[in-house]
Copies of this chain bind each other. A is one copy, B any other.
Amino acid sequence: MAAALKNDRLLRALRREPTDCTPVWLMRQAGRYLPEYRQTRGRAGSFMQLAQSPALATEVTLQPLDRFDLDAAILFSDILTIPDAMGLGLRFAEGEGPRFEHPVRDEAAIRALSVPDPTAELRYVTDAVREIARALDGRVPLIGFSGSPFTLACYMVEGSGSDDYRTWKRMLYSRPDLAHRLLDVNARAVTAYLLAQIEAGAQAVMVFDTWGGMLTPDNFQTFSLDYTRQVIAGLTAGIATRPGLQSVPVIAFTKGGGGWLESIAACGADAVGIDWTTSLHSARSRVGDRVALQGNLDPMVLLTDPATIERETKRVLADFGHGHGHVFNLGHGIVPATPPEHVQALVETVHSASVPYHRNGG
Interface residues of A (CB under 8 A from B): 164, 166, 169-170, 173-174, 213-218, 220, 256, 258-259, 276-279, 282, 298-301, 303-305, 308, 312, 315, 335, 337
Q: How far is the CA of A215 from the CA of B258 in the complex (A)?
A: 13
Known: A259-B258, A298-B216, A335-B166. A308 touches B277 (CB 8 A): no
- Tell whether, in the assembled complex, residue A278 and residue B166 are in contact, meaning their CB atoms are under 8 Å apart: no
Q: How far is the CB of A333 from chain B (nearest CB, A)?
A: 11
Partner of A282, one of B213, B217, B299: B217
Question: A277 touching B216 by the CB < 8 A rule?
Answer: yes
- A277 touches which one: B259, B279, B298 (CB < 8 A)? B259
> Most chain-B Cβ atoms within 10 A of its Cβ — which of A170, A278, A312, A337?
A170
Measured between C-beta atoms, what is the minimum distance from A359 to chain B in Å? Answer: 26
> What is the distance, in angstroms, from A118's C-beta to the closest C-beta of chain B?
32
With A and B bound together, what is the CA distance between A308 and B258 in angstroms? 28
Instruction: Determine if A173 and B300 form an interchain contact, defined as CB atoms under 8 angstroms apart.
Output: yes
Contacts A164-B335, A166-B337; A277 near B256 (Cβ below 8 A): yes
Q: How far is the CA of A34 from the CA of B243 in the complex (A)?
A: 63
Residues A215 and B277 in contact, CB atoms below 8 Å apart: yes
> Quick one: copies of this chain in the complex?
2
Residue of B173, B174, B300, B312 near A164 (CB, 8 A) is B300
A173 surroundings in chain B (CB, below 8 A):
298, 300-301, 304, 308, 312
Cβ-closest chain B residue relative to A297: B216
Distance in angstroms between the alpha carbons of A215 and B315 in the assembled complex:
15
Is A166 a contact partner of B298 (Cβ separation < 8 A)?
A: no
18 example contacts (A-B, Cβ-Cβ < 8 A) are as follows: A166-B300, A166-B303, A166-B335, A169-B298, A170-B304, A173-B298, A173-B300, A173-B301, A174-B304, A174-B305, A174-B308, A217-B278, A217-B279, A218-B279, A218-B315, A256-B256, A256-B277, A259-B277
Least CB separation from A298: chain B residue: B216
- B contact residues around A279 at 8 Å (CB): 216-218
10 closest cross-chain pairs (CB), A and B = A169-B300, A174-B304, A174-B308, A217-B279, A173-B304, A216-B276, A258-B259, A170-B303, A173-B308, A166-B300
Q: Give Cα A157–Cα B189 distance, bound, in whole angstroms.
A: 44
* Contact, CB under 8 Å: B166 / A277: no
Given contacts A258-B259, A259-B259, A278-B259, contact A300 B170 (CB under 8 A): yes
Q: Which of A173, A220, A301 has the most CB of B within 10 A?
A: A173
Q: How far apart sit A82 and B166, CA to CA, in the bound complex (Å)? A: 32
